[in-house]
Amino acid sequence: MCVGYNIIRVEGGHAYGVFIMDMYSRKILSYDISNTMDERMCVKALERGYRDTMLMERLWRSYKWECVYLREKVELKELKEVTKEWVEYYNKERPHQSLGYKTPDEVYYGEVSKGCHE
């Protein structure tokens, strides 16, 4: 697991985001967006993983270029909605070259089901 935090510009200020990702499959396992970076936000996301890596930097870059920067101004409520949509897209539809052009869900669930039947 790896964890990454970042600041996102929203209308009227900043929001804080945290993603938790499975390092092997690149699947986003958990995330949260908040207008404060308090311990509740972090604990809520961190209940499912830890560790920060270069993979997380790539994830944040993709998220910002594919989701955040496409909008001029976004309010926190809208940011949460578009982030949820983007995470669904990222996990279920977006193929990754490093995963042999499979999606994170295909790799994550493929390995889980393979292990259960052996």
Residue 49 has a pLDDT of 72
In the chain, how many domains are there? Answer: 1
Range of the domain at 95: 2-117
Give the HSE-up count for residue 45: Cα atoms under 13 Å, Cβ half-sphere: 25
71 has pLDDT over 50: yes
54 has pLDDT over 70: yes
Residue 93 has a pLDDT of 96
pTM of the complete model: 0.75
- Most confident listed range (2-6, 42-46, 64-68): 64-68
